[in-house]
Amino acid sequence: MSMNAGGRGSGGRSNSGKGRAGANRSGANRAGQGRSGARKRDDRTQQGQPGGTPNPRGSRGNRNPGGEPQAKQGGGGETRRNSKGHERNRKAVKDRAFSASAPSQRARTADRARAVAFEVLSAVALDDSYANLVLPKAIRSARLDARDAGFATELTYGTLRNQGTYDAILAHCVDRPVAKIGTKILLVLRLGVHQLLAMRVPDHAALNQTVALARAEIGTGPANFVNAVLRRVSERTPEDWYALIVDEAPDELTRLALEKSHPAWVVRSFRQALAAHGRNPGEVEALLDADNASPVVNLVALPGLGTLDEARAAGAEEGPLVEGSALYSAGDLARLESVREGVVRAQDAGSQLVARALADAPLEGSDNNWLDLCAGPGGKAALLGALGTQRGARLLANEAADHRAELVRRSLAPLPSASYSVIAGDGRQIERTVAAGTNLPESMPADVRFDRVMVDVPCSGLGALRRRPEARWRKSPRDIAELLPLQLDLFKAAASVTRPGGLIAYVTCSPHTAETQSIVHDILRKVDVTLLDSGAALRAVARKDEAGASALSGELDPAFTPEAPKGATLAEGATTAQLWPHIHGTDAMFFALFRKN
């Protein structure tokens, strides 16, 4: 979340009258003191219920004249009593803070929109799921109307994007490291903080409903803890909280990481990537802000198979970068018949551009056999296949994992069955797989050498953090280091089955220097290929204005001229191309086009 003045953007609200004493730097008077409900440990079963032996005497706990600490029922921290059995340090009744609602008025069950958000965050945190895949199903299952679906969507994605910032705020409101809080409790707390600091939700509603969510999904003890912590959060304005955590940052990198809610290593990588692709590293703040903005859904109609007429009738607008694309913001895509039929689908404009650039790049000689080496989940393969079908080309789509290969089959299903084939196998062994001649498209020989090859390698996905905000918290520099040998090996394998003069597109959804310019450098040193003008290939397929100028010309030109390693072959005007969320409104897609020598 950006922490500039206002904090909430259009969702801001007045916080006049809120005190500043709620969360101090020293940690004194934090949730967890006395009867606030904070827990010293989190011993819960998989069902989310407090662990340990139930207290037979109810919520008051066993009196302990010896003064030894007693664990509260529900795991709400420790209660210390004096020799008379009275709770130590307990405030007088006149000094205690009580809920504004009578017990009979407090919500006991979570509303459906918040329950959906919690369900999705739990799947992301506990099952390594992706929110963009889980959320639509959860919304449909809960039968949310458009208003509640919008609320659940903003609550889910906003909480995921701003997780790092919210954890820094929560650290001032609890009596333990945030990492020691139980996973489900922490998820509920983040949901509550997002409502308090970044949405148009009154404090009393955010508190009441979030505590009810904790009570329904986790238990009464954790709900008391959530109530105490969120009351601490509500005592400061968003501006005060952001100023506090930014002031504590020891350096500029940490400041940006906290302010823009990205891991510090990602911020550093983005700065380096901007410089490596010929842009000003000072753009990093704009790039981070673009990552935190909700992306508009891009639609593509498969050429020769579908049209965007239905989407336009539902309010979709023409896409600014690509012909045959549209921007859609009218709700659930599944309501469109063309989407249900598979001839119109959601696909980022950057993905559309790189697929079209490979398909339309000038090529001498035969143009019948195309290969998508790493085809899952199938979006680019479907667009390539549709474009190829119009020219009589056949597509072989390879995917290493069987379950992802099945996704590719579903994605390609609207195409004529004789125009493509899907195989499951290690892309590094594609030459052996093709030589076996099993399940190749009709009339494609076993000794085929391909004319156009897409190598959309497995990558860090740092270019798609707008659509997959949870990815920023899952990745590490080690992940990238482990991917680099695979990325180079996949390109080598692609080159081994490409005919001389054939085209190979190296594509990543990441701007990271190691996955882009460094791999291109290695390719030029180790593979007998020539780098072409990749920027020109993208400009050629972008939308044109009335004067014929490409939408990717001028300030939007993604081209960059890399340094050539000794002995490398570069075509005249050779470039790589990098798209950016803050410049082009796309994922940070990298594209390098090669011709096999």
Instruction: State yes or no: pLDDT of 12 exceeds 60.
Output: no
What pLDDT was estimated at residue 30?
A: 41
CA distance 1 to 168: 12
What pLDDT was estimated at residue 82?
A: 59
Q: Residues near 436 by Cβ (< 8 Å), separated by ≥ 6? A: 446
Per DSSP, the three-state class of 83 is coil
| Phi and psi torsions of 52, nearest 5° | 85, -175
Give me the mean pLDDT over the 218-236 stretch.
Answer: 96
Give me the mean pLDDT over the 61-88 stretch.
Answer: 47
- Mean pLDDT for the chain overall: 86
Give me the mean pLDDT over the 233-250 stretch.
Answer: 95
Q: What angle do CA 69, 72, 73 make, to 5 degrees?
A: 150
CA distance 376 to 409: 9
What are the distances in angstroms from CA 557 to CA 324, 538, 575, 590?
Answer: 20, 9, 11, 13
What pLDDT was estimated at residue 559?
A: 98
Give me the mean pLDDT over the 40-52 stretch.
Answer: 36
What pLDDT was estimated at residue 92?
A: 54
Give me the mean pLDDT over the 332-355 stretch.
Answer: 94
Give me the mean pLDDT over the 196-202 stretch.
Answer: 95
pLDDT tier, 109 (very low <50, low <70, confident <90, very high otherwise): confident
Per DSSP, the three-state class of 209 is helix
Structure letter (DSSP) for residue 87: B
On the question of a cis peptide bond just before residue 377, with omega within 30 degrees of 0, the verdict is: yes
Task: List, in sequence order, every beta strand (DSSP E) within 260-331.
Answer: 297-301, 317-318, 325-328
Structure letter (DSSP) for residue 578: E
What pLDDT was estimated at residue 330?
A: 77
What pLDDT was estimated at residue 85?
A: 57
Are the C-beta atoms of residues 534 and 591 closer than 8 Å to each other?
A: yes
1 versus 510: the higher-pLDDT residue is 510
pLDDT tens digits for range 263-287: 999 999 999 999 999 999 999 999 9
Instruction: State yes or no: pLDDT of 488 exceeds 60.
Output: yes
What pLDDT was estimated at residue 20?
A: 39
Percent of residues, the chain, with pLDDT higher than 90:
76
Instruction: State yes or no: pLDDT of 496 exceeds 70.
Output: yes
Instruction: State yes or no: pLDDT of 148 exceeds 80.
Output: yes
pLDDT tens digits for range 406-419: 999 999 999 999 99
pLDDT tens digits for range 420-469: 999 999 999 999 999 988 888 888 888 899 999 999 999 999 999 999 99
Query: HSE (CB half, 13 Å, CA atoms) of 398?
Result: 27
pLDDT tens digits for range 544-587: 999 999 999 999 999 999 998 888 878 899 999 999 999 999 99
Which candidate, 330, 341, 343, 336, places its Cα nearest to that of 310? 336
Q: Which two tokens stand for residue 157?
A: 């994605």
Long-range contacts (CB closer than 8 Å, 24 or more residues apart) made by 141-148: 142/112, 142/113, 142/115, 142/116, 144/112, 144/113, 144/116, 146/331, 148/112, 148/113
pLDDT tier, 195 (very low <50, low <70, confident <90, very high otherwise): very high
Instruction: State yes or no: pLDDT of 19 exceeds 60.
Output: no
Among 17-31, 374-388, 397-411, the range scoring the smallest mean pLDDT is 17-31
| Phi and psi torsions of 224, nearest 5° | -65, -40
Given phi > 0 = left and psi -120 to 50 = alpha, else beta, which region is 72? beta
What are the distances in angstroms from CA 555 to CA 325, 353, 486, 545?
Answer: 22, 17, 34, 15
CA distance 47 to 567: 62
Structure letter (DSSP) for residue 81: B
> Which residues are designated catalytic?
509
Structure letter (DSSP) for residue 574: E
Give burial (CB, 10 Å; 0-12/13-18/19+) of 63. Answer: middle
What are the distances in angstroms from CA 435 to CA 441, 493, 494, 503?
Answer: 13, 13, 14, 20
Residue with tokens 């606030």: 36
CA distance 595 to 579: 21
Among 97-101, 335-339, 462-466, 499-503, the range scoring the smallest mean pLDDT is 97-101
| Phi and psi torsions of 453, nearest 5° | -135, 130
Give me the mean pLDDT over the 60-77 stretch.
Answer: 43
Q: Which two tokens stand for residue 525?
A: 């040193």
pLDDT tier, 295 (very low <50, low <70, confident <90, very high otherwise): confident
Instruction: State yes or no: pLDDT of 5 exceeds 60.
Output: no
pLDDT tier, 174 (very low <50, low <70, confident <90, very high otherwise): very high
pLDDT tier, 57 (very low <50, low <70, confident <90, very high otherwise): very low
CB atoms under 10 Å from CB of 368, counted, come to 16
Entry pTM: 0.81
Instruction: State yes or no: pLDDT of 181 exceeds 50.
Output: yes
What pLDDT was estimated at residue 185?
A: 97
Instruction: State yes or no: pLDDT of 43 exceeds 90.
Output: no
